[in-house]
Amino acid sequence: MDTFSNEDHDIEKYDRADALKVFDETKTGVKGLVDAGVTKIPRIFIRPPDELVEELNCSKVDLQIPVIDLTGSDIGDRRKEIVEQIRVASETWGFFQVINHEIPKSLLDETIDCIRMFHEQENEIKMKLYSRDRMHKVRFDSNLDLYRSRAANWRDTLTLSMFISDDLDPEEVPAVCRETMLEYIKHVTKFGGTLLELLSEALGLRPDHLQNLECCHGRTFVGQYYPPCPEPELTLGASKHTDPSFLTLLLQDHIGGLQVRYHDQWADVPPLTGGLVVNIGDLLQIASNDKFKSVDHRVLANHKGPRVSTVCFFTGVAVPPKIYGPIKELTLKSDGNPPVYKDFLKMVCLPETPMTPITQWTEDDKRKVVKARAAICNALPYDLLSLNLLINQIRKMDTFSNEDHDIEKYDRADALKVFDETKTAANWRDSLTLAMFISDDLDPEEVPAVCRHDHIGGLQVRYHDQWADVPPLTGSLVVNIGDLLQIASNDKFKSVDHRVLANHNGPRVSAVCFFTGVAVPPKIYGPIKELTLKSDGNPPVYKDFLVSEYMNNFFTRPIDKSGLDYFKL
């Protein structure tokens, strides 16, 4: 019976990773499935059983998020009233709708239409934009967190990112929605400024306080498309999440489905003609020192549809790095309001983390993860995982409470996992790492007392498409140029592929020291100016970057790319 039961087991076993890949490779998203006529949703979209059971016990409140009429918001007493309504809404719901705002209704309608048109155009154009690379300014994808979420969401997304830099080449914006989206972006950016003034006042600050923090600068615009779903009770349009932003402005069409968490229940956010939904993101909850709330929300899947929405995340400045944290005026000890969060940089960085599988982490490993996360926060917008992490990881967590919970989430978000998945084969070696990447002080007691010369050999260096041995030489040290010096030298010096053969003899032991430059506080590196004089015919070959950016890219790059490729101009 052995073979039989094995077989049975295999049939039972369902390869989720494989199914995700097949879906991803269609590059046509959820709409592609609907176009193909599916009548049952593929298993990758089905929510885990515990969630489906919980849903049965979950009640709905009839309460609705506040609707705030902005008419007269620049007139004395009326402004006070509006500011007060915004304060109450931001402290309780974290969400409100605004009407009679400054954006013309015709533009709102055109924006929804053009997002629908983008998603409903020929697949060919969309497929060309299909990408999971968050560095692409304009991209189409379905489920950016596809490989890490518990269940895929029933929606497709067009992203226009002005997260890293403010300039978006109009030519890069898809033609069907170019003119309208650029117009909408202009209006929404201005309106975001107006709202930040009102929110500053609602916090008891000067009207320009949040604007001066450049909260409006990094922006990501997202055009969501939720196709009609044949089995909406089994999946979601968007899983519950908080937003990785200071402020989010959402425009939805007439279908409905957005829900907001309120006292352990879900409340509908009904579509309101000419209205815009405003919500507080994680970064403003932090800046306000927990006065304003970044609240869980989600989108139901629906038989009806498609549903279309446009979301604008105001994410603050990431490059050059800027320090954010609780606003000093709101954390006066004398008022009994000590800061609840640490300061942090909003930048992209891979934290120092244990390389062992999560199930084998020691207490000390866990502590390191939390520390690294807290020190450098991974706040890329629109990564549902990092955004859930944001608050948990930055909140002062010197003692490792909530551990399982946070570690679970951390694991899924962990860039290292992506790295592991992209590797085709593991190497026959173990490593001892002594890291002074983040800070220069290493407790001598932490360092094992071993450093010895080794004679086994096996190191090879690439030379003109061949491998050359690097034979052990008593008393010698091997020196090699790394990627960062190749970049600094503007390709004059070479950072060269090398590898280590496995060996019958052994063990082989080596000690490697990487000089990686300054990561914290962030420092900008790039081709050295003296070496890139145009007059000498040596224009720079690489862009400038932060070491953390380089490392982040290095550890998450596709297997066929070098650490240098991304920074090539």
Binding site residues, ligand OGA, CB under 6 A:
222, 224, 238, 243, 250, 252, 258, 297, 299, 309, 311
Least distance (Å) from ligand OGA to the CB of residue 269? 8
Q: Distance between CA 363 and CA 403 in Å, rounded?
A: 10
Which CA distances in Å does 127 have to 123, 131, 325? 6, 9, 39
State the binding partner of 379 from ligand OGA, Ni ion, none, CB within 5 to 8 A by kind. Answer: none
Of residues 244 and 563, the one with the C-beta less far from ligand OGA:
244
Least distance (Å) from ligand OGA to the CB of residue 399? 32
Least distance (Å) from ligand OGA to the CB of residue 506? 52
State the binding partner of 224 from ligand OGA, Ni ion, none, CB within 5 to 8 A by kind. Answer: ligand OGA
Phi, psi dihedral angles at 467 (to 5 degrees): -100, 130
For tokens 């500011």, what's the residue? 83
Distance in angstroms between the alpha carbons of the first and the last residue of the chain: 61
State the binding partner of 250 from ligand OGA, Ni ion, none, CB within 5 to 8 A by kind. Answer: ligand OGA
Cα 484–chain centre separation: 25
Q: DSSP of 217-247, one letter per residue?
A: TSEEEEEEEE---S-GGG-EEEEEE--SSSE
State the binding partner of 143 from Ni ion, ligand OGA, none, CB within 5 to 8 A by kind. Answer: none
The number of helix segments (H) and strand segments (E) in the chain equals 16, 21
Of residues 243 and 352, the one with the C-beta less far from Ni ion:
243
Is the Cβ–Cβ distance between 340 and 396 less than 8 Å? yes
Least distance (Å) from ligand OGA to the CB of residue 157? 8
- The strand pairing partners of 377, in sequence order, are 346
Least distance (Å) from Ni ion to the CB of residue 215? 17
Least distance (Å) from ligand OGA to the CB of residue 236? 11
Least distance (Å) from ligand OGA to the CB of residue 390? 13
The three-point CA angle 213-218-219 to 5° equals 130
Q: Which residue is nearest to ligand OGA (CB)?
A: 309
Is the Cβ–Cβ distance between 187 and 102 less than 8 Å? yes
Looking at residue 138, its amino acid is: V
Of residues 311 and 369, the one with the C-beta less far from ligand OGA:
311
Give me the residues that bind Ni ion (CB under 5 A), please: 243
Of residues 288 and 310, the one with the C-beta less far from ligand OGA:
310
Of residues 297 and 373, the one with the C-beta less far from ligand OGA:
297
Q: Distance between CA 55 and CA 473 in Å, rounded?
A: 67
Of residues 200 and 259, the one with the C-beta less far from ligand OGA:
259
Least distance (Å) from ligand OGA to the CB of residue 392? 18
Least distance (Å) from ligand OGA to the CB of residue 298? 7
Of residues 82 and 115, the one with the C-beta less far from ligand OGA:
115
Q: DSSP of 434-491, one letter per residue?
A: ---SS-S---GGGS-S---------EEEEETTEEEE----TT-------HHHHHHTTT
Which CA distances in Å does 467 have to 460, 481, 498, 510? 6, 17, 8, 19
Put residue 94 in one of left, alpha, beta given phi > 0 → left and psi -120 to 50 → alpha: left
State the binding partner of 547 from ligand OGA, Ni ion, none, CB within 5 to 8 A by kind. Answer: none
Least distance (Å) from ligand OGA to the CB of residue 104? 21
State the binding partner of 211 from ligand OGA, Ni ion, none, CB within 5 to 8 A by kind. Answer: none
Of residues 159 and 490, the one with the C-beta less far from ligand OGA:
159
Tokens of 32: 């592609």
Of residues 201 and 243, the one with the C-beta less far from Ni ion:
243
Put residue 336 in one of left, alpha, beta given phi > 0 → left and psi -120 to 50 → alpha: left
Of residues 188 and 397, the one with the C-beta less far from ligand OGA:
188
The three-point CA angle 285-135-390 to 5° equals 20
